[in-house]
């Protein structure tokens, strides 16, 4: 968790409302990013301490939670950069349901009618715009009202489905559908397929949820907190069944990618890039050696000249 938290804090560095608590810091952060065109890069981050002020230690978990809540994305491709999701960046440019979910989730999933008007009107979301969506959401069980307090459903609050699916919600739904327990490695593999997130971000997600008491570990098994396990959530996003991997073709491709030879030390990384493991490849490599398509000596596996394709 620490590397990605440090990166998030590096992007979003700061704010002087820390003494008011995490919610004030969270809201101030979002307002600052919106004022910067919904994108915050390193130069913008560096300018914030004089405007708002807070320590990296105060800022990091708040930034991480915005990411986990599906309200912010982070790109580390060229330079650290944070982007608000469309539901927060341009509430008038998305459908009213998405805008409402974003604002409820930003504010802890519960708002009074007065709070709603105070928050939504400055965003251009008038009663005429919002009311039909709110009525439809209430009829669908996505929004409930007690006295003057409106609450978002559990599924929409955690981000377990559309709109605004969130990494936290997807992991909660995944574990809930698996009996609230899953091997940590298996969970990371499935989450990578569902979300497209890098391993470092998925590790950050799990670590932050462990800090919040939403997960705990039983050896290598991830266990969902009983309060979250009891939520009524939709099934995880279905995934297309993976096409079977042609292991022989993958081994040949891995060898060609490395100058038509590899050592046992090279093997795991080269084969992983082709979607197979050393265990997958062992019987195939033995068969290739037996057929004269490769040889093995002194820890080196060269491909036969007939199969070696070099530019």
Mean pLDDT of 213-237: 86
| pLDDT tens figures, 23-67 | 888 898 888 888 888 887 777 777 766 676 777 777 778 878 888
Per-residue model confidence (pLDDT) at position 14: 31
- Token pair listed for 214: 């939403």
pLDDT of residue 23: 86
Q: Among 31-45, 77-91, 117-131, which range has the highest average pLDDT?
A: 117-131
Tell me how crowded residue 187 is: count the other CB atoms within 10 A of its CB: 20
- Higher pLDDT: 200 or 297? It is 297
Q: Does the pLDDT at position 11 exceed 50?
A: no
DSSP letters, the chain, are -HHHHHHHHHHH---TTGGG-HHHHHHHHHHHHHHTTTEE-HHHHHHSTTTT---HHHHHHHHHHHHHTTSEEEE-SSS-EEEE-HHHH-GGGS-HHHHHHHHHHHTTSEEEHHHHHHHHGGGT--HHHHHHHHHHHHHTTSEEEETTEEEE-HHHHHT-SSSS--HHHHHHHHHHTTTTEEEHHHHHHHHHHHH---HHHHHHHHHHHHHTTSEEEETTEEEE-HHHHTS--PPPPP-PPPPPP-HHHHHHHHHHHTTSEEETTTHHHHHHTTT--HHHHHHHHHHHHHTTSB--BTTEEEBPTTT----
Summarize the confidence of residues 237-249 as an average pLDDT.
61
- Confidence check: pLDDT of 236 > 80: no
Q: 92-152 has which CATH code?
A: 1.10.10
**Percent of the chain surpassing pLDDT 70:** 84
> Is the domain covering 2-84 a CATH 3.30.70 domain?
no
Half-sphere exposure of 5 (CA within 13 A, CB side): 19
Q: Residue 146: its pLDDT value, please?
A: 85
Question: Given this model, what pLDDT does residue 256 score?
Answer: 86
Report, as an integer, the average pLDDT of 73-90: 74
Radius of gyration of the chain (CA): 24
Query: Beta-carbon neighbour count of residue 118 at 10 Å?
Result: 11
Confidence of residue 17 (pLDDT cuts 50, 70, 90): very low
Tell me, yes or no, if the two domains 92-152 and 167-229 fold the same way.
yes
What pLDDT digit, counting tens, does each position of 128-154 carry?
888 999 999 999 999 998 888 999 999
Query: In whole angstroms, what is the distance from residue 59 CA to residue 63 CA?
Result: 6
Q: Is there a contact between 253 and 284 (Cβ–Cβ < 8 Å)?
A: no
- pLDDT value, residue 188: 80
How sure is the predictor about 76, in pLDDT bands with cuts at 50, 70 and 90?
Answer: low
- The 10 Å Cβ neighbour count of residue 57 is 10
Structural domain boundaries of the chain?
2-84, 92-152, 167-229, 247-302
Mean pLDDT, residues 91-102 taken together: 91
Give the span between the Cα atoms of 131 and 133, in whole angstroms.
5
Mean of per-residue pLDDT scores for the chain:
80
Residue 156 Cα distances to 72, 92, 136, 191, 292, angstroms: 16, 20, 14, 19, 58
> How many degrees, rounded to 5, is the angle at CA 237 between CA 231 and CA 238?
125
Query: Quick one: pLDDT at residue 16?
Result: 32
Binned at pLDDT 50, 70 and 90, residue 186 comes out as confident
Give the per-residue pLDDT at 119.
Answer: 92
Q: Given 2.20.25.160, 2.10.109.10, 1.10.10.10, 3.40.50.300, which CATH number is that of 167-229?
A: 1.10.10.10
Measuring CA to CA, which residue among 88, 82, 89 is closest to residue 100?
A: 88
- Least confident span in 1-5, 109-113, 267-271: 1-5
Reference 154, options 168, 206, 99; nearest CA is 168
pLDDT value of position 15: 30
pLDDT at 237: 59
pLDDT tops 70 at residue 251: yes
Mean pLDDT over 80-108 rounds to: 88
Per-residue model confidence (pLDDT) at position 9 = 40
């Amino acid at each position: 968790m620490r590397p990605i938290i440090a990166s998030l804090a590096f992007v979003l560095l700061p704010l002087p409302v820390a003494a008011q608590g995490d919610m004030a810091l969270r809201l101030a952060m979002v307002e600052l990013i919106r004022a910067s065109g919904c994108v915050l890069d390193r130069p913008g981050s560096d300018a914030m301490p004089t405007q708002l002020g807070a320590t990296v230690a105060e800022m990091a978990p708040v930034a991480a939670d915005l990411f986990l809540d599906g309200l912010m994305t982070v790109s580390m491709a060229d330079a650290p950069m944070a982007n608000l999701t469309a539901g927060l960046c341009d509430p008038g440019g998305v459908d009213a349901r998405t805008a409402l979910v974003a604002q409820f989730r930003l504010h802890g999933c519960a708002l009074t009618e007065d709070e709603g008007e105070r928050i939504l009107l400055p965003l251009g979301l008038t009663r005429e715009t919002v009311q039909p969506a709110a009525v439809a959401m209430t009829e669908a069980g996505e929004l409930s009202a007690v006295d003057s307090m409106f609450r978002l459903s559990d599924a929409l609050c955690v981000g377990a489905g559309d709109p605004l699916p969130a990494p936290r919600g997807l992991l909660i739904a995944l574990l809930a559908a698996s009996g609230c327990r899953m091997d940590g490695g298996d969970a990371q593999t499935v989450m990578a397929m569902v979300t497209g997130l890098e391993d470092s971000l998925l590790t950050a997600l799990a670590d932050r949820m462990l800090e919040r008491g939403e997960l705990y570990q039983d050896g290598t098994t991830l266990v969902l907190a009983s309060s979250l396990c009891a939520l009524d959530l939709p099934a995880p996003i279905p995934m297309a069944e993976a096409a079977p991997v042609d292991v022989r073709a993958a081994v040949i491709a891995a060898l060609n990618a490395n100058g038509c030879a590899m050592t046992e030390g090279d093997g795991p990384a080269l084969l992983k890039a082709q979607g197979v493991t050393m265990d997958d490849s062992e019987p195939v490599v033995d068969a290739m050696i037996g057929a004269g398509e490769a040889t093995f000596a002194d820890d080196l596996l060269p491909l036969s000249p007939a199969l070696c394709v070099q530019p």
